[in-house]
Amino acid sequence: MARQSALITVMTNAAYRAARGLKRDFGEVEQLQVSTKGPSDFVAAADLQAEKILRDELARARPEYGFLLEEGGVVEGTDPRRRWIIDPLDGTLNFLHGIPHFAISIGLERDGQIVAGVIYEPLRDEMFWAELGAGAFVNDHRLRVSTRGNMGDSVFATGVPWRGRPNHRSFLCQLEAVMAVSAGIRRFGSAALDLAYVAAGRYEGFWESSLNPWDIAAGVLLVREAGGFVTTIDGSREVIRAPSILAVNDRLHGALMAVLAQAAPSPDGA
């Protein structure tokens, strides 16, 4: 049985508590108070309530730490070295449409490095967690990235840019290139769970552009602690605030990076 540190216990307990309201509200889309915060990007009252619970629980346990919150922005702490990076509901659009695929994501940043991460999928009761140097787990089971080394046998995940997001043509070129060499591509609408699934060996890899730190902070650590590689699409290891992310098992990272590097729209748009 995996033994959690006191820090991971604080994080998982906060996620469990915040998930109660999400599970209660899930499926009751017509009763949710919804406000628009951008094109095709919605935030529900459940999202805001989950964030409040996470902030309250984590502040109670570590009152000196700061926060980077999806909804609440930056909250400075008395300890300038540490802050929580939180997405209270990754997969909001799924949630609002009654699609059972969403998660809570909590990362802890210390001196610019993610040192602990939790991603909780409430409906399946899967708690993914990792701590720097201590491995990655789902519930009590150790995680390891997929061992597949053939692109033609591999499944990759991605995120599709929607209305109001840039780079539609570039993405379509990437999609076409990966389609030509892989067994399949999946798009489920939660970057946090995409990364957790790479760590669990369910996907061989994941790529996406234009994500935010709270989408990926916990997931980056999970993949690395499970033996995978996480970089930007052009190979940089500094991904938390970068314009793209590429998370792949240790056998296929270079191959997928090469495929994506060669996928670019022609100058005439053809």
At 191, the pLDDT band (50, 70, 90 cuts) reads very high
Q: How confident is the model at residue 2, as a pLDDT? A: 78
3-state SS of the chain? CCCCCHHHHHHHHHHHHHHHHHHHHCCCHHHCCEEECCCCCEEEHHHHHHHHHHHHHHHHHCCCCEEEECCCEEECCCCCCEEEEEEEEECHHHHHCCCCCCEEEEEEEECCEEEEEEEEECCCCEEEEEECCCCEEECCEECCCCCCCCHHHCEEEECCCCCCCCCHHHHHHHHHHHHCCCCEEECCCCHHHHHHHHHCCCCCEEEEECCCHHHHHHHHHHHHHCCCEEECCCCCCCCCCCCEEEEECCCCHHHHHHHHHHCCCCCCCC
Mean pLDDT, the chain, whole residue set: 92
- Greater confidence (31 vs 236) lies with 236
* pLDDT for res 138: 98
The mean pLDDT value for 253-266 works out to: 88
Question: Per-residue pLDDT averaged across 104-108, rounded?
Answer: 98
Please give the pLDDT value at position 163: 79
pLDDT tens-digit readout, 68-82: 998 889 999 999 999
Tens of pLDDT along 35-68? Answer: 665 544 556 788 899 999 999 999 999 999 999 9
